[in-house]
Amino acid sequence: MTSERKMLQRDPAFRCLQNLRGLVEKENVSAGIIAEVDKVMDLLMARNDFCEQQTTRPSQDLQQLMKSTLQHDWQKAHDQGQLVRIPNTMMMSGNLEVQFYRTLASLGNVKRVLELGLFTGCSALAFAESLPEDGKVISCEIDPYIANLARSFLDKATSGKKVEILNAPAEESMERLAQKKQQFDLIFLDADKPCYVRHYKMIFELGLLAPKGTILVDNALFFGDPYTKERFMGEMGDGVTQFNEVVKDDDTVHKVLLPIRDGIMIIRRKEDVD
């Protein structure tokens, strides 16, 4: 099953349909009603698959990185004490999302990208592939094991040389970059969800976003928590919910939230859009 299908199955509407499917069976309702419930679920999957099929396929390098991530022995690394917890591979961007990022990175004059939250390097490599030869992605990753693993994956990719990994807490790396007066045309926010608000504010406080720059935010819908208030994802969902409220109330920026995968928000300074 693709990561996109797995993500869809955790969507609150799909979860409700699955619950409804169980209820109608128990209530002994007509076969026609059961068939219609099944049809709705199938249509959601079909739309998901159709979008995938219509989207440009990942490069050989991206395919290999995705495959390596899925096949990696995370359990062994955890058992050996190299990881505090076993990561969910759904943290890796799917191809639909990756190609969307590539498209945005190819627009305008994007040369420098800051990524907060690396995981195994899928989104970092996607950005790098759409940057010019002198372009650069600086990616922040707090976990040493994952940072080293991502480096090993990226070193096998042609555009991986454009990616620099900072193995430190994101806030620490952001402060160091600001001290060096570095700015970025595109900033990708995808680190710990409870830190979203702080990282968002730091971007502007530290002057990290270049003139006419863009902020991309992953998981802005976070399995429905921001709009259902179900707290399906607990503290992490609360962090994304709070972040959405902060951005909504920020009159200095133009924002659009797209229902791609788990939600992608695009944020730009208001004067760059109006």
pLDDT at position 63, please? 96
**Domains in the chain, ordered, with CATH?**
3-54 (no CATH), 60-272 (3.40.50.150)
Between 39 and 26, where is the model more confident? 39
How many CA within 13 A on the CB side of residue 156? 18
Contacts of 60 by beta carbon, 8 Å cutoff, 6+ apart = none
Per-residue pLDDT band at 1 (split at 50, 70, 90): low
**Rounded-to-integer distance, Cα 220 and Cα 243, Å:** 8
| pLDDT, mean of residues 115-139 | 97
**Rounded-to-integer distance, Cα 65 and Cα 186, Å:** 22
| pLDDT, mean of residues 103-132 | 95
pLDDT at position 156, please? 97
Per-residue pLDDT band at 202 (split at 50, 70, 90): very high
Residue 127, phi-psi category: left (phi > 0), alpha (psi -120 to 50), beta (remainder): alpha
Per-residue pLDDT band at 150 (split at 50, 70, 90): very high
> In angstroms, how far apart are the furthest CA atoms of the chain?
68
pLDDT at position 179, please? 98
Residues of the chain above pLDDT 90, percent? 87
Per-residue pLDDT band at 16 (split at 50, 70, 90): very high
Element (H, E) at 105: helix 95-106
**Rounded-to-integer distance, Cα 201 and Cα 26, Å:** 50
Q: Mean pLDDT across the chain, nearest whole number? A: 94
Residues of the chain above pLDDT 70, percent? 99
List the structure tokens of 33. 């009603």
pLDDT at position 147, please? 97
pTM: 0.94
| pLDDT, mean of residues 219-231 | 94
Does the pLDDT value for residue 23 go beyond 70? yes
Q: 166 pairs with which residues across the strands?
A: 140
